[in-house]
A and B are shown apart, each in its own frame.
Chain A
Amino acid sequence: MNRNAPPRDADAEAVISLNSVWKVFGARSEEAMAAIQKENLTKPEVLARFNCVVGIADVSFSIRRGEIFCIMGLSGSGKSTLVRHINRLIEPTAGSITLLGRDVMALSGREVRELRANRMGMVFQHMALMPHRSVRDNVTFPLEVQKKPKSERWAISQRTLAMVNLEGYEDHMPAQLSGGMRQRVGIARALASRPDILLMDEPFSALDPLIRRQLQDQFLALSRRLNQTTVFITHDLDEAIRLGDRIAIMKDGRIVQIGTAEDIVSNPADDYIAAFVNDISTLSILHAEGVMEPLEKLELPAGTDMASLPCVAPDCPLDQLVALAAETENPIIVSDETGKTIGVVTRTALLNAIGGRNAPTNGSANKEAPV
């Protein structure tokens, strides 16, 4: 993953942005919403007073073009509900949603359907293929909705199925395929109309671990090639870390923390996230940048000079740092591309990082405040 390279399309416009989106389920949702905004009720209070369930509470984020944005949370945390707001399969009770510069809430029914057909693709946890249609007809369903001629549909289905390594399966029925293959058909279907936005609702959760790993790799390669903006729902933190440029962690309908994997692992916003992160091995997630300390901390041992110290780039992963530290007693210097020294990794800092204790430095710089 190229998360340490400069972000693709630097300063690109926000493709998806949600602003203080709320969803309250129940017959008296409007009333409940008004009360929530006025009196700041808690979830159980809303349930007791209005018999309404708060599905999404005050969620805001924006996603850049080309970014893979993971929304991670346990079941019932509202992540699947949230992703359905983006294509308006579920209507928010309050808040605004902007997609590709357009206010989704202001669109007519026809415009929403056009947006779904042309600009968005969606992948479902249980594939949701149509059992009565062949693989080809499943893949080209979005094009059929757009009334594309058959010849074009056939060509596109061939091309798209090739992208997910399923050439030759056009005329099979979904029931004849394995779970992993079916989900690749699901991905091909989502990609068929070349959408700008890909919504993936726990696409790999129902697959066994080996197949899941394989599909994650395929998906990453594909995503890098197509430069699509992806919202990826998962309940698995490992998956979120592997795939996500940024990760949003949800609990009880709220986003608790948004940040890169490194931010979240090194600076969990609260105990809830800390408990999750506890088991994540820091070795492959943290980088020199995340564990380094300011240069002032450097205490040069007598008789050594700066130039003789080992020197690494800011994105040097922790495991390489450990290997280096094993060879030398001295601290390790971190310098950027221009050769400018920007920090120092001491043994203490390194051991603390491996032990899972927070590096005392700049980790919280780009962490967004929890909602």
Chain B
Amino acid sequence: MTHADTDAREEHGRDAAQLSDAVHPDAEHADPFGDVGAFLGERSRAFYVDKFRQIGRKPNFAVTFNWTAAILGPFWWSARQLFGIALIFWVLELNILARLAHGLFGDLGAEQAARAEQLMERSAERAAEAARALAAGEDGADRMAQSAENLAKVATEAAAEAERLAAEAPQLVVISLVLLALVKGIQLVAANWILEDKYMKWRARRSSDAIIRLPTVLMTGGLIAVTYLVTALSRVTSQPPPWLFNFPADPEWRNISSTAIDDLFDWITARGGLVFDGIITAINGVVGMLEAFLSGTPWPVIVALIVVLAWRTAGFRTAIFTAAALFYLGLLGFWEKSLATVALLGTAALTSIVLGIPIGIWCARNARVYAIIRPVLDFMQTMPAFVYLIPVIALFGIGKPPAVIATLSFGMPPVIRLTALGLKSVPEDVREAAMAFGATQLTVLLKVDLPMAAPSILTGINQTILMSLGMVVIASLIGAEGLGQDVLQALQFAATGYGILSGLAILFCAMILDRIVQGRISKD
């Protein structure tokens, strides 16, 4: 027999002991609510032990009442650190109370009544004028009388409206009260039940801290009280102070900030001119090389090359699709522009991969580096694509190089992320095994980490290519040649048919690249 069996026997013994407890659920030593006092304070212990017992006896929901919770509402919930629930009831109660205040003190018909009064006055004035004119025998006296009469009619209507609105007030009050009762009722019966759940979780966490803490109570309670007061203030008068509704903004602040950023960019371009020129030259070189290669090769050669590549990596069906898509590009006259797009995209994707994989490896190996890089990646991916163009233009002007850089900054995050993810998910024991047989860090990286992370890295590359392609239209805004330009033109001249055809051309380019890289992944 092994020790495992010994353990099992002991386990069995314990089970048996628990079984005998279960027969007397109220036995003192089996009390599951022993530390309710520690959780909620000794003063409310007896109350909650009783309620929790009631809840425990029912298989589903047990109706128990908690008047304190119902009366205090969000104050009660937040004091017990049930902030989510507190928030819901806070919003509900605030809304209902505001309506109630509006109905009770808002003087609902006041505006209309004032208008009616004003109109009445004007009508009286007019009538007086008419009477005077009539007495003087002037022309238009009857016109004036007519006008006075009309005014009087409108005034009566306004008065009626004011009355109607004022009459609505009690209705509003009644509806608000009913809603309030409903919300309070929900809190009345749900409070103990939710608190019991919280208590069970508290027990499982094995925390010994009481749930009600004075600083939390003061802070959340104060916050809720202030919002109640401000809302009430804005609703009890018919003319609330305007500063409650207008955020204190000053256009000068924005001007100062944007000027400062302008100055910064000016300073950078002035100082770093050489660096930016170098980058521009390098990118131009790569794009030019790719373009020269692509446009210098006869189209049948390129078509054959891509179709064979698709066939070898992704199979026969993909090869047929690829051929069809390529002929679509060629026959509709998108060939040249596709090549320009591919050259641009190729430069961006290649740079993304060449820079992204080492950064990804670094991130996987160094938690601190990843902690710094991750928010940068989030930023790069969340920033709307158009906004990229602004600093890029400021630093690099317009043309192909800034287009490549804008595409690059959008497309690089996935390859970094997925390389890091892939390397991190290599099982630690396999790496350890390699090291136990004398492998160096480099050998582990090359023979264990990278091969095992390959599917993840390839997925990253695929994503990078597709995201870069997504930037093609936007990049054409700053002068990148290619398929994006056609879409942009179609957009400007509302050329529906032409726009759709060029859009399809971009889609086909994306699908060919995607299928080929995907085929490579599934082969691994």
By a beta-carbon cutoff of 8 Å, the part of chain A in contact with chain B is: 74, 87, 89, 113-118, 120-122, 124-126, 128-133, 141-142, 144-146, 189, 193, 199, 236-238, 275-276, 278-281
Q: Are B436 and A145 in contact (CB under 8 A)?
A: no
Contact A131 B436 (CB under 8 A): no
Smallest CB gap from B428: residue in A: A128
CB pair B6–A116 under 8 Å, yes or no, is no
Give chain B residues whose Cβ lies under 8 Å from the Cβ of A87: 436
A124 pairs with B438, CB closer than 8 A: no
Q: Which B residues are CB-close (under 8 A) to A115?
A: 438
B451 pairs with A89, CB closer than 8 A: no
Q: Is the CB of A128 within 8 A of B427?
A: yes
A276:B3 contact, CB within 8 angstroms: yes
**Would you mind naming 19 contact pairs between A and B with Cβ atoms under 8 Å apart?**
A113-B439, A122-B437, A124-B429, A125-B429, A126-B427, A128-B429, A128-B430, A129-B430, A130-B452, A131-B430, A141-B439, A144-B447, A145-B434, A145-B439, A189-B437, A279-B3, A279-B5, A279-B6, A280-B1
Set B1, B437, B454: member contacting A116, Cβ < 8 A: B437
Partner of B436, one of A89, A125, A278: A89
Pick from B4, B432, B437, B440: contact of A141, CB under 8 Å:
B437
- Which residues of chain B from 437 to 459 have any CB-CB distance to chain A below 8 Å in the complex? 437-440, 443, 447-448, 451-452, 454
How distant is the Cα of A144 from the Cα of B5 in the complex, in angstroms? 44
Docked complex Cα distance between A257 and B459 (Å): 53
Note all chain A residues with C-beta closer than 8 A to B22: none
Contact assessment for A116 and B436 in the assembled complex, using a CB-CB cutoff below 8 Å: yes
B128 at the interface (CB under 8 A from A): no
- B1-39, CB < 8 A from A: 1-6
Indicate which residue in B2, B6, B432 contacts A236 across the interface (CB closer than 8 Å).
Answer: B2
Does A146 lie within 8 Å of B438, measured CB to CB? yes
- Interface pair B3/A114, CB less than 8 Å apart: no
- Neighbouring A residues of B6 by C-beta, 8 Å: 275-276, 278-279
A141 touches B434 (CB 8 A): yes
CB neighbours (8 Å) of B440 from chain A are 113
Docked-complex contact A89 and B432, CB < 8 angstroms: yes
Is the CB–CB distance between B429 and A131 below 8 Å?
A: no
- Contact of A116 with B3 at beta-carbon distance under 8 Å, contacts A122-B433, A124-B432, A128-B427 already known: no
Q: Are A113 and B438 touching (Cβ within 8 A)?
A: yes
Task: Kindly report which residue of chain A lies nearest to residue B452, judged by CB atoms.
Answer: A132
Closest to B437 in A: A142
Bound together, the chains give a CA A236 to CA B434 distance in angstroms of 27
User: In the complex, which residues of chain B have a beta carbon less than 8 angstroms from the beta carbon of A279?
Assistant: 1-3, 5-6
Interface centre among B429, B434, B436, B448 (most CB of A within 10 A): B436
Per the bound structure, the CA–CA distance linking A280 and B5 in Å amounts to 11
Q: A128-B430, A275-B3 are in contact. List 6 more A-B contacts (CB 8 A).
A: A122-B436, A128-B429, A129-B430, A130-B452, A142-B438, A276-B6
When distances are taken between beta carbons in the complex, the residues of chain A under 8 Å from B282 are none
Q: Which chain A residue lies CB-closest to B444? A: A145
Whether A74 contacts B3 by the Cβ 8 Å rule is yes
Given known A237-B2, A276-B3, A279-B3, contact A114–B432 (CB-CB < 8 A) = no
Is the beta-carbon distance between B437 and A117 smaller than 8 angstroms?
A: yes
The verdict on A117 contacting B438 (CB below 8 Å), with A128-B427, A279-B2 known, is: yes
Docked-complex contact A145 and B429, CB < 8 angstroms: no
Chain B residues with CB under 8 A of A122: 433, 436-437
B454-505 residues at the A interface, CB under 8 angstroms:
454
Query: B174 an interface residue at 8 Å Cβ cutoff?
Result: no
B435 within 8 A of A: yes
Cα distance, A238 to B443, chains bound together (Å): 39
Chain B residues whose CB sits within 8 angstroms of the CB of A120 once the complex forms: 436
A144 cross-chain contacts in B, Cβ below 8 A: 447
Are the C-beta atoms of B443 and A145 separated by less than 8 Å?
A: yes
A contact residues around B430 at 8 Å (CB): 128-131
Choose among A115, A121, A141, A236 the residue with the greatest number of B CB atoms under 10 Å from its CB.
A141
Contact between chains at B433 and A128 (CB < 8 Å): yes
| Cβ contacts under 8 Å, A74 to chain B | 3
- Residues of B contacting A133 in the complex (Cβ-Cβ under 8 angstroms): 451
A279 (CB) vs chain B CBs: closest residue: B1
Minimum CB distance partner of A121 in chain B: B437
Q: Which residues of A contact B434 (CB under 8 A)?
A: 130, 141, 145
A89 to B427, CA, bound (A): 16
A145 touches B433 (CB 8 A): no
Contacts of B438 in A (CB 8 A): 113-118, 142, 145-146
Residue among A89, A126, A189 making CB contact with B435, cutoff 8 Å: A89
CA distance in complex: A39, B443 (Å): 44
Q: Which residue of B lies closest to A142 (CB)?
A: B437
Closest 3 CB pairs of A and B: A117-B438, A279-B1, A128-B433
Contacting residues, chain A, for B436 (C-beta < 8 A): 87, 89, 116, 120, 122, 199
- Rounded to whole Å, the gap between the CB of B432 and the closest CB of chain A is 6
- Contact indicator B3/A237 (Cβ below 8 Å): yes
Q: A238-B2, A278-B6, A280-B1 are in contact. Are A130 and B439 (CB under 8 A)?
A: no
Query: How far apart are A23's CB and chain B's nearest CB, in angstroms?
Result: 16
- Residues from chain A with a CB closer than 8 A to the CB of B1 are 279-281
B residues 386-436 with Cβ under 8 Å of A?
427, 429-430, 432-436
Taking a contact as CB atoms closer than 8 A, the residue among A145, A237, A238, A278 that contacts B437 in the complex is A145
B454 contact set on A, CB distance < 8 A: 132
Q: What B residues does A146 contact at CB under 8 A?
A: 438
Q: CA of A122 to CA of B435 in the docked complex: distance in angstroms?
A: 10
A270 to chain B, nearest CB (A): 15
Question: Which residues of the other chain, B, contact A89 by a CB distance below 8 angstroms?
Answer: 432, 435-436
Q: Report the separation of the CA atoms of residues A119 and B1 in the bound assembly, to the nearest whole angstrom.
A: 36
User: Complex formed: what's the CA distance from A124 to B433 in Å?
Assistant: 8
Residues of A contacting B3 with CB < 8 Å? 74, 237, 275-276, 279
Note all chain B residues with C-beta closer than 8 A to A275: 3, 6
